Amino acid sequence: MSGLLLQSPAKVNLFLKILNKRADGYHNIVTLFERVDLCDEIFLDSNKIGDIRIFCNHPHVPTGPKNLAYKAVRMLQKDFRITEGVDIRINKRIPVAAGLAGGSSNAATTLLGLNRLWGLRLGSKKLLFYARQIGSDVPFFLYNCSWALGQGRGDVIKKINIRTKLWHILVIPRIKMYSWKVYGGLKLKLTKKDDDVNILIHHLRKNNLEEARRQLVNDLETSIIELCPRLEKIREKLKLLNAQNAMFSGSGPCVFGMTDSEKDGKTMAVILRKRFNQVFVVRTL
């Protein structure tokens, strides 16, 4: 098979509740993933020399073993005794270390692509086995769905049937926010106990967006703001522009708000781009 060109989408979390800390150092969570149409492009092509070669247009993306896509390739090579290598070309559009899971998406896309490119015929259970070893967000991107419930570390995935499509405005300041730091500053006693993702899912299914917006939750927000207090100003700016219930995606620093339409999002983006370089209007994919 010749090379493959694949889309690697981003995600936002409309709901992220931290339940407790696990014995392995991770946290048990409940989250609602939404796949959005901000995508990287990934081109995969086998090489005969056996090397994993990653090329990317973004200077901060690692091209060696720290890259999650690299890890995906190495695991498959080892377990299936594959002597071929692969060239991975990433056209990076998803901001790096922003809470949008671009690296995790790239890894999942690479797993899916190599399964085809190398004719491995791996089923969903085996692909999930590898995805969970790579990272907590990776399994979600193996599913061809717009919405999914994430539990455990976020790696136990249940597809959710929601037909509603949302518009969002995303603002990503040029600040790197690492998950381990955000989770390290988490104060579990501050989280509300009565948040229920099922209420949010119910309102999204009914397309009752006014009620859905009231159910958005991210238990990591306090920790994110403590690490970088100026991020709160971005959230307040979005609210002033009438973005609905602006909040952080995952462990940040991406700040997003729901908008009533693409037109409203683009109007906000014109204003925000005067100050921020990374502003996107996105829709549920």
Give the residue numbers annotated as catalytic, written as ranges: 11, 137
- The candidate with the shortest Cα–Cα distance to 46, out of 107, 118, 121, is 118
Place of tokens 């999650």: 68
**Under a CB-based contact definition with an 8 Å cutoff, are residues 123 and 282 in contact?**
no
Instruction: Give the number of other CB atoms < 10 A from CB of residue 234.
Output: 22
Cα torsion through 158, 160, 166, 169, rounded to 10: -10
DSSP SS3 for 181: helix
Q: How far is Cα of residue 87 from the mean position of the Cα atoms in its chain? A: 24
Return the structure tokens found at 283: 């829709």
**Under a CB-based contact definition with an 8 Å cutoff, are residues 258 and 243 in contact?**
yes
